[in-house]
Amino acid sequence: MNIQKLTDTLWRICFDNGTTLTLVGTAHVSEKSKDDVIKAIDEYHPDSICIELDKARWEKLHDTSENKAISSEDLVTVIKKGKTFLLLANLILSSFQKKLNLNKSDTVGAEIVAAGDIAVRDGIPLTLADRDISITLKRAWGLSGLISKSKMASSLILSAFDKTSISEEELEELKKTSNIEVMLNKIAEDLPNVKTALIDERDQYLAGKIYNATGVNKLAVVGAGHMNGIVNWLSKQESNEAKVDFDSLDFVPKKSRVKKILEWSIPFLIIAIIVVISVIKGVKVGLEMLAIWAVSNGLTTLIFGALSLAHPLNLIIGAIASPFAVLSPIIGIGMITGVVEAKLRPPKVSDAETLSDDVSTFKGWFKNRILHVFTVFMFTSIGSVIGTVLVAPIVAGLW
């Protein structure tokens, strides 16, 4: 396999069987990247085009239906299926990219969409080479420990309110190989498991799809940060050193036995404490302690629900349901209050239209009904934890 690096973001690769690949690296918020892609297609006349998109995102970008609103049923489904974090992560990442792309005429990732549209228009075989974004985020979350998850969540939250603006010149500097390596090394140092899922595994996935794509004169459009990793895996496949295992890369890790035990440890501990108190000091005292814990938990849930500006009826439901939810880790209080809030205050069309902008403002998390559901979800969950771990023991000690 022979590699010719024409520029930092345009590489020509010749395989042993005579097949050629033009690899175009881009910055998804750069206007120049779209011009580079169109120029490369015009110059090399590929008979196959591969792009860094999965089927779901491709279809979403080409959704021409008039009704793109998010209904209360959609939100309920997201919450019930435990996809709250995944949706929020998607929204925040999209919002951050949109902010970097502010005041530019094209949408984020316009260069990749343009390559796909040209393929469809000209009848060129198109390969959607990326892994499903939901699987990538699930693996990033599932492979991370508590500290990494905390870092990931805090990074997402901070990026939502980040007002950074980057010039076109700075974007072009970021696409240089040396700068990309520095950034990837920094991510690997801070969040190694996240880099594995977001970068390394997708390098494999993209390389496998590109290598298996039809055609003898292929062109692939990918983020500049993936170029080295893709070429590395193309080389491994060409030399039969390794094959890309799509099944393992698409596998979503299930909860370990330890995590399941930990989830049930708090309900078990609460019940055990009440039973021990009842045996030592009598059933009446045990029931009093149970009542103190339940009231403390319900009260802190109500207070934090009020801080989130939850619907008044939802505050009452949350306060009553919270103690029961703690004793059943299968259904958290955030799931209950989130679903109720979505039902009592269903999203409007305008909420979907302003979603990517509202996610980056503090006010937006309370004004936008879609985001407000997640605000209530998070606040009531925090309130319940505080009531269980901090307030109830303190009150019980003063009793």
Give tens-digit pLDDT for 384-397: 988 887 765 665 56
Query: Same domain for 207 and 297?
Result: no
Residue 245: per-residue pLDDT: 93
Residues 173, 318, single domain; the answer is no
Query: Rounded mean pLDDT of 202-211?
Result: 95
Q: Mean of the pLDDT values across residues 221-231?
A: 91
Residue 377 burial (10 A CB sphere; 0-12, 13-18, 19+):
buried
**What's the average model confidence in pLDDT over 260-287?**
82
Q: Are 311 and 72 in contact (CB under 8 A)?
A: no
Tens digit of pLDDT for each residue in 52-99?
Answer: 999 988 887 787 654 455 666 666 776 666 666 666 666 655 554 554
- Both 207 and 290 in one domain: the answer is no
| pLDDT the model gives residue 353 | 72
SS3 of the chain: CEEEEEECCEEEEECCCCCEEEEEEECCCCHHHHHHHHHHHHHHCCCEEEECCCHHHHHHHCCCCCCCCCCHHHHHHHHHCCCHHHHHHHHHHHHHHHHHCCCCCCCCCHHHHHHHHHHHHHCCCEEECCCCHHHHHHHHHHCCCHHHHHHHHHHHHHHHCCCCCCCHHHHHHHCCHHHHHHHHHHHHHHCHHHHHHHHHHHHHHHHHHHHHCCCCEEEEEEEHHHHHHHHHHHHHHHCCCCCCCHHHHCCCCCCCHHHHHHHHHHHHHHHHHHHHHHHHHCHHHHHHHHHHHHHHHHHHHHHHHHHCCCCHHHHHHHHHHHHHHHCCCCCCHHHHHHHHHHHHCCCCHHHHHCHHHHCCCCCHHHHCHHHHHHHHHHHHHHHHHHHHHHHHHHHHHHC
Residue 34 in this model has a pLDDT that exceeds 50? yes
pLDDT exceeding 90 applies to what percent of the chain? 34
- Residue 159 structural domain: 2-249
Final residue of a structural domain among 229, 249, 269: 249
Length of the chain: 399
Residues 6+ positions from 239 with CB-CB distance below 8 Å: 1
Residues 69 and 171 in one domain: yes
Residue 133: its pLDDT value, please? 82
- Tell me which of 194, 224, 249 is where a domain ends: 249
At residue 221's C-alpha, the angle toward residues 215 and 222, to 5°, is 125
Let me know whether 121 and 214 are in one domain: yes
Residues 326 and 240 in one domain: no
Residues 21 and 161 in one domain: yes
Asked if 99 and 194 sit in the same domain, the reply is yes
Q: How many CB atoms lie within 10 A of CB 373?
A: 31
Lowest mean pLDDT among 139-143, 233-237, 330-334, 392-396: 392-396
Q: Do 267 and 141 fall within a single domain? A: no
Write out the two tokens for 396.
């019980």
Domain count, the chain: 2
Answer yes or no: is pLDDT of 170 > 60.
Answer: no
pLDDT in tens, 182-206: 554 555 555 677 778 888 999 999 9
pLDDT at 283: 87
Q: Do 227 and 262 lie in a common domain?
A: no
What was the pLDDT predicted at 350? 79
- Given 249, 270, 302, which residue is the final one in a domain? 249
pLDDT for 196 equals 84
- Residue 314: per-residue pLDDT: 94
Q: For residue 158, is pLDDT > 80? A: no
Distance, in Å, from the CA atom of 76 to the CA atom of 70, rounded to the nearest integer, reads 11
Are residue 142 and residue 160 in the same domain, yes or no? Answer: yes
Amino acid at site 34: K
Distance, CA of 130 to CA of 328 (rounded, Å): 38
Query: Does the pLDDT value for residue 123 go beyond 60?
Result: yes
Mean pLDDT of 232-248: 93
With a cut of 90, say whether residue 235 has pLDDT above it: yes
